[in-house]
Structure 1
Amino acid sequence: MQLRDALDDFKRHEGHDTRFPGERRTTTGRFSGFTPANGDGRLVHVDRDGGPRDFGSPLTGRNGLDTSRLGVRRDGDLLWFDDCETVSQSYAGETTLVITEHRLPDEAGGATLTQYDLTLGRAHVTHVVSENADAGTLVGFLGFGPDGRDTGVAQLRHADAVELYHDAEHDYVASATGFDAARGCVPADFARLLDADPVERPLAEEAGRREEASLSGDLFCELPFEDGAATLVTLLTDATRTDREAALDRLAEVVAEYDGAESLKRAASDRAPRTPDDLPRRDAVAADLRVVGMLSAPTGLRIAGPEFDPYYAHSGGYGYTWFRDDAEISRFLLRADRQFDLGLDDWHARSAESYCETQLADGTWPHRVWPRNRTLAPGWANSHLAVGGDTDYSEYQADQTASVVAFLADALPELDADLAERTTGTLADALDGLDRTVESDGLPVACQNAWEDATGRFAHTAATFLEAYAAVAAADGDLPASAADLSDRAAEQADRVYEALDDLWVPERGIYGYRLVTETDGDGSPDHLEPGALDTRCDSGSLALASAHLAYARVSEVDDRRLDRVVSHVRTVVDELHRDPPESSVRGLARYEGDDWRARSQDDEKIWTVSTAWGAFACANLAALLDDRGDRRAEEFAATARDLLGLVLPDGVLCPGGALLPEQVFDDGTPDSATPLGWPHALRTTTLALLAQRDASVEEPAAVPEE
């Protein structure tokens, strides 16, 4: 997204109730493309109006399409698809082939056109079929931003293609039926940008600006239909690795091989992850693997979600790898793989390799990195990287390191000998990093929270430390003899954190508090709490205490008082954060009490899919813990887990369109923020696996003999 597009969107949506002006939304439409198995590829969004746009820059370093419009010209009249009815949009089965149906207005014949979009490595194919033989021409406006630039871009015409380039990135466009027309479009000048009215693109070539049309990333083209079909192909390349002749050859190959719906369906099927036929809610598991795969770089690291706010007007960005989200996703997939036999060994190995590679000298991990090359990315929680002086943890997120530790310890049995040995060394250093961030009272130091909007000593952070230490302690049999002391050391630390959690108990509410306050910075703390006070709000992040105690129970004893407290905590937090807005189709869990982020015109907290899925996961973990004790309360929490899980399943109210989970939802059902978000998708599959495991372990009641 270029600044011109952001300013235009700002003009269109300033003051909107549920849209934040200046963003590049993906809350409607579908994504096609990137999976870890592809190696080198793209992440392309196809909106409901059929326009493809690239979102894979954090994954590949190539920017590609910033904006686009598609339409048809019939009898001299130009009809853009965004002015037509979108009849339907769906995936072809479990693949990433997006199928969109457009219906022309009755006055234009009322014909239906079916659009097929598939990303094939660095190429993207858009194939349009008309039910009328006299279809006219397919019209495309394609706005490229090679190297992330919207100026200093030039166009080069070849016999069968158009090339757009700035420096390293060279992007190509071709058609299976050639071009009836292909011209550059002038960009909006300063006067037009400053005008109060939005800019309608594409702009016509203006007198005196002919050269600018050739020095532009905007291309207008017309492709004739042949036998009722037309195909448009784009290809992104790096000129330092692929020369022009090779790029044009590849473009010609794609045009020739994938000029038809059937060839696209076969190619999509060949690239789709395979899921066993007998899975419970196979549709959800397949969708989750598709999403997590599309958000992944060849390194195995993932962006949190597509970057919808590139100018950080209303957020801190999403197109990066956070080690919290990424390691939690890795662990969720690992556990689901063990239950469902999903064949994800390569995914687990890539994750472990990347975590070993990105660990810092002090045993911790940075705030965020670029997934394509694992290098440090811009962030605001890297105070522990500063050189000289005392280490400042107030701008550090300690739960991220703990999440990586928990995954690596769990993954050891799945890794080959060499990687397991390297992972063991990483774990030893990581325990040093964790130990340095545990205070004498057994709780983690004051740091930033998982939501990145407050500082303190959080229940969620403590839960991740408890689970990390417990996971290492439980890995005793998978550690080499030379590292046998790691499990004993981790077990001792797990006991310390377990005992220290009592300091966060709020008896009057029956919960573990949000945090011990260490500073007040206008973050929504009730009654202006002073440092040292216990913030007694409910926080969905603290639901991590359920899985943490299940992990701890594998290496030590969860006493009856603690079990009762965890039961009370999970039950109360789920009840207090549950929102069921009146006259609305949606319901689910809010992030925490008093959360006003991205509320726009809404008075109350928004519903988050992460929090709702986390509630389901927490209840499923608690049901497992209670089952181990023969406690009848397990049924209550299993039922709650299924209820909350149902809200985020493909047919649930928090999954609009059934394909992609947004991060948040307004009370009127409008999805908002990063879509899809990898975290709730992985939570969904691991909760399905946990409940399936429970179902398999529950014995059928003995048959009562007939009298």
Structure 2
Amino acid sequence: MQLRDALDDYKRHEGHDTRFPGERRSTTGLFSGLGGRLVHVERDGSLRDFGYPLTGRNGLDRSRLGLRVGDDVHWFEADETVSQRYHEATALVVTERETPVGAVTQYDLTVGDAHLTHVELDAPLADERTVEVVTYVGFAPNAQDTRIGQLRHEDAVEVYHTTEHDFVGSTTGVSDLHGQVPARFAELLDDTAVELPRPVSEDRYEEDRLSGDLVAFLPVESGRTTLVTLLTDENTTTREAALGRLDDLATAYDDAAALRRSAEAEASEVPDDTPHAGAVAADVRVLRFLSAETGLRIAGPDFDPYYAYSGGYGYTWFRDDAEISLFVDEAADSIGLDLDAWTERSARAYLATQQSDGTWPHRVWPRDGTLAPGWANGRLEAGDGVDYQADQTGSVVTFLASVVDELDGDLREEVVAALDAALDGLDDTLADDGRPIACQNAWENMDGRFSHTAATFLEAYAAVADADLDAATTAHATEQADRIYEALDDLWVAEREIYALRECEGVDEAEGFEAGELDPRYDSATLALAAAHRQYARVGDVDGDRLDRLVTHVENTVEGLWHDPNGSEVRGLVRYEGDEWRQRGQGHEKIWTVSTAWGAHAAANTTALLRAHDDDRAGAFATLTDDVLSLVLPDGPLCMETGYLPEQVFDDGTSDSATPLGWPHALRLATVALADELGLDVGTEAPTPAE
């Protein structure tokens, strides 16, 4: 997304109730792309690349598709979109619409670094008018929208800046082609958004050659044609090779059947008897979309690249990435998915990104693991280290320790060495009282000593203690896990019967807390204590008093964060009590899918703990698991018709922020697998916990 696009969107949506002006949203439409390139297909047929963090290639920033019938152009956004869906369990997007010439079906599939948009007319015109597909595409190679050039190669166009060269071709050739200049200064400053492409060329000599925007008319033959776009890097792909690949793609994908065959060959296989197979298939597909070849993932499609309302989403955070890796590994074992390669790839990625002190940094670029822009790199800077998110290292340690016994040969030895170094990093950030030092929280908006951070440390040390490592390592990890287990009592808020959000490190004037005071607000991140205690139970004793506290904590936190807006079908958990982020004009905390899925996962883990203690309360938590999980399953109020889980939802049901977000998809996958392991009959109805 270029600044011109952001300003244009700002003009269109300034003052909107639920849209933040200047963003590039993916809350409608579907994605395609299983090989790094990530292409969003809007319901109106327009395309946009979101894969820069995954590949380093920017690709398409803007586009429009339509038909030229005779001398008249009809853009698809003016037509009725009848449906948009995936072809079975694949990444092939099928969009059906009604146009002035009848029904038209659009098929979109990303194949590696190429994207194919195949358009088919259901019936030929009754008169003699010709029909062509008109495409307006705007590329920003190397993330630039100026200093761009074009080269014409018969029926192909090459758009380039420096190393990134993007190509456009068609299965039926190009009947007409011309460039477009971007919005001018006066248009940018004007209150009215500019409509592109411009209807008439101004015959400026630079227009056809010094712009990333172009309009191409593709002949329709036998009722169909296919637009092909290809992103390349001149350091790895020559022009001749790129043009040859473009020709090969045009030859291979000249009908819908070819796209279906290719998509089916790349689909992840989900066993037919898998519980909630549709949800599982959607989760795996989303996690593949968000993954780079390294195995690292972006948190979600980056809808806010100018940091207008957030710090960006197109990066790898080790907190959610490692939890995703762990959940995928657990679900694969439980359900029977063939995802072993994911586990090994993730392990190698964490080895490559570990810092010299054994910890992991705030966030990295997923395509190569290099340090990404961030605000929590205190371990890399001179300072007191508060600007560090210790839970991220804890999450990676949990994953590596949980899978080390599955690994063989050199990789296992490297992981063992990484765990030794990581334990030093954890030890260095564990205070004398047995709790992690003051740092930043999981939501990245507070400092303090958090229950969530303590939970990740408890789970990490317990996972190491439970692994097949040398006796000295497991003994030390057990001792540290025992210390944290005991120290958690310091965070208990008796009047609310929950674990505190945090112990405040300093005075928090905004929230009215003094240094050393417990922050008693409900926080969905503290639900991580359930899984942490289940892991600890493998190496230590969860006594009756602690079990009672854990039960009331999960119950009260879910109830305290529950939000069921009047007159709305949505319901679920808000992120934490008093969360004001991205409310727009709502005046109330928004529901988060991460928090809701976390509630279901915590309830399932508590069910398992109670069953292990022959505790009759397990039945109530099995019901709670069903109640909360149903909210994020297909047909639940927080799961979109696309199958995606957005990060947040407004009270009126409008999805917001990163969509789809990887973390809740992994939490849903893990909870479905755990519920199946426990024999819980979780359905798709979504009652409130009170029911």
The one-letter code of the counterpart of 1:33 is G
Q: Counterpart of 1:687? A: 671
Conserved 8 A contact 1:288-1:681: yes
1:514 and 1:396 map into 2 onto residues whose CA distance is 17
Q: What aligned pairs does 1:278-297 form with structure 2 within 5 A after superposition?
A: 278-297=273-292
In the alignment, structure 1 residue 117 sits paired with structure 2 residue 116: no
How far apart are the structure 1 equivalents of 2:362 and 2:574?
Answer: 24
- Which among 150, 169, 174 is matched to residue 169 of structure 2? 174
Which of 661, 664, 667 aligns to 2:648? It is 664
Q: C-alpha distance in 1, partners of 2:314/2:106?
A: 28
Alpha-carbon offset, residue 208 of structure 1: 6.3
1:590 aligns with 2:568: no
Would you say the 8 A contact 1:186–1:204 is kept in 2? no
Distance in structure 2 (CA, Å) of the matches to 1:207 and 1:163: 22
Query: Aligned pair in 2 of structure 1 residues 423, 652: CA closer, same or farther (>3 Å)?
Result: same
The partner residue of 2:304 within 301, 304, 309 is: 309
- Superimposed CA distance per residue, residues 69-127 of structure 1 (whole angstroms, 9 cap, x where no aligned partner): 101111322111111111100001110000001112xxx34x11000000000110000
Matching residue's letter, 2:52:
S
Shift of 1:584: 0.2
Structure 1 residues 649, 198: closer, same or farther in 2, change over 3 A?
Answer: same
Structure 1 segment 526-537 matched on structure 2, within 5 A: 528-537=512-521
Equivalent position of 1:631 in the other structure: 615
1:12 aligns with 2:4: no
8 Å contact from structure 2 (residues 60, 140) kept in 1: yes
Q: Using the TM superposition, give the Cα deviation of residue 204 of structure 1 relative to its aligned residue in structure 2, in angstroms.
A: 4.2
Q: Partner residue of 2:136?
A: 141
Unaligned residue ranges in structure 2 (runs of 5+): 683-691
Secondary structure of the 2:641 match is helix
Structure 2 partner of 1:616 = 600
Name the TM-score, length of structure 1 as normaliser. 0.95
Aligned residue number for residue 501 of structure 1: 488
Q: In the alignment, which residue of structure 1 is the partner of 2:477?
A: 490
- 2:151 corresponds, among 143, 156, 159, to 156
Q: Is the 8 A contact 2:632 2:645 kept in 1?
A: yes
Alignment of 1:329-368 (within 5 A): 329-368=324-363
Give the Cα–Cα distance (whole angstroms) in 2 for the partners of residues 42 and 631 of structure 1: 49
Supply the distance in 2 between the matched residues of 1:471 and 1:454 (Cα, whole angstroms): 27
Q: What one-letter code is carried by the residue in structure 2 that aligns with 1:7?
A: L
1:178-577 equivalent positions in 2, closer than 5 A: 178-204=173-199, 206-207=201-202, 209-387=204-382, 391-475=383-467, 478-479=468-469, 483-521=470-508, 525=511, 528-577=512-561
SS at match of 2:309: coil
2:626–2:681 CA contact under 8 A, matched in 1: no
Verify the 8 A CA contact 1:186 1:206 in the aligned structure 2.
Answer: no
Q: CA deviation at 1:546?
A: 0.4
Q: Secondary structure at the match of 1:676?
A: coil
Q: CA deviation at 1:497?
A: 0.4
Q: Secondary structure at the match of 1:247?
A: helix
1:603 paired with 2:594, answer: no
Partners in 2 of 1:471 and 1:195 — Cα distance? 59
Unaligned stretches of 5+ in structure 1? 699-707
- The residue type equivalent to 1:126 in the other structure is T
Deviations 1:403-460 (A, max 9, x none): 0000000011221221111101100110110011111111100000000000000000
Q: Is the 1:185–1:205 contact (alpha carbons within 8 Å) kept by the matching residues of 2?
A: no
* Structure 1 counterpart of 2:7, one-letter code: L
**Cα offsets for 1:128-157 (capped at 9, x unmatched):** 111121371111110100000000011111
Using the TM superposition, name which of 643-652 and 249-258 deviates more: 643-652
CA RMSD of aligned residues (A): 1.3
Q: Displacement, 1:223?
A: 0.7
SS in 2 for 1:648: coil
Q: Does 1:650 align with 2:623?
A: no
Which amino acid letter does the alignment assign opposite residue 557 of structure 1? D
Question: Which whole-Å deviations, capped at 9, do the CAs of 1:431-490 have from their partners, x for residues lacking one?
Answer: 110011111111100000000000000000000000001111111xx22xxx32111100
Q: Is the 8 A contact 2:438 2:447 kept in 1?
A: yes
Q: Secondary structure at the match of 1:339?
A: helix
**Aligned 8 A contact 1:185 1:204 in 2:** no
Q: Residues 587-620 of structure 1: CA distance to partner in whole angstroms, max 9, x if unpaired?
A: 0000000001000010110000000000000000
**AA matched with 1:665:** V
The C-alpha deviation readout for 1:532-585, integer Å capped at 9, x for no partner, is 111000000000000011111111101111100000000000001010000001
- Letter in structure 2 aligned against 1:515: R
CA distance change for structure 1 residues 193 and 696 in 2, over 3 Å: closer, same or farther? closer
Letter aligned with residue 21 of structure 2: P
Q: Normalising by structure 2, report the TM-score.
A: 0.97
| Distance (whole Å) between structure 1 residues aligned to residue 290 and residue 338 of structure 2 | 18
Equivalents in 1 of 2:183, 2:487: separation in Å? 61
Which amino acid is the alignment partner of residue 555 of structure 2?
R
Separation in structure 1 between the aligned mates of residue 668 and residue 348 of structure 2, nearest angstrom: 25
2:685 aligns to what?
Answer: none
Instruction: State the AA in 1 paired with 2:103.
Output: T
Q: Tell me which residue corresponds to 1:701.
A: none
Residue 41 (structure 2) aligns with = 46
Aligned equivalents of 2:681, 2:109: Cα separation in 1:
41
Q: What SS does the aligned partner of 1:627 have?
A: helix
Please state how far the C-alpha of 1:233 moved relative to its aligned partner. 0.3
Deviation at 1:697?
12
Residues 287-336 of structure 1 show CA distances to partners (whole Å, capped at 9, x for unaligned) of 10000011001110000001110101000000000000100000001110
Maintained 8 Å contact 1:181/1:222: yes
